[in-house]
Amino acid sequence: LFSGYARDGGLFMPEEIPSLDLATLQTWSTHTYPQLVEEICSLFISSEDLPREDLSDLISRAFRRFRHKDVVELASLKNGLNVLELWHGVTYAFKDLALSCVGQLLQYFLKKRKKQITIVVGTSGDTGSAAIESVRGVDNVNIIVLLPRGRCSPIQELQMTTVIEDN
């Protein structure tokens, strides 16, 4: 959580990926998006590191500001085509889904460790605004976003340059 890359410069990967039986998948098929996030996170984060009740509260806070009650919406189109709408977050970017959780995880573990960090983000668009919103108002996180002048859409630039927060 606190380092961007693995020691070899690549991405972090779990040592093993849990197998899910059919009964679990059938149960999960009735879950909301936040419930699925909680179930999947609990497979990879031990209850010793993050008790299940705290995880549930954290996920709930992460999605509180989304505009759709279910966070994501499965829209049915013609001829049996379905589209999953991933743009109901604060910045209208799919990145809100993951970064809102990352912001809550950072806050939880930093507060627990009594630590402060500064996040530096380089972006050409929606990553910057989603990152800002994910840690907006978090006491133990400062964020600096670098963006190319005139290279982001006007809405993205406004999302990154008009946030008034202490961090």
Catalytic residues: 95
* Sign of the alpha-carbon torsion through 95, 97, 102, 108: positive
3-state secondary structure of 110: helix
| Residue 2 burial class via C-beta count within 10 angstroms: exposed 0-12, middle 13-18, buried 19 and up | exposed
10 Å Cβ neighbour count for 80?
A: 6
Closest by Cα among 121, 114, 117 to 148: 121
> What is the Cα–Cα distance from 24 to 26, expressed in whole angstroms?
5
> What is residue 82's three-state secondary structure?
strand
Q: How many CA atoms lie within 13 A of 122 on its CB side?
A: 1
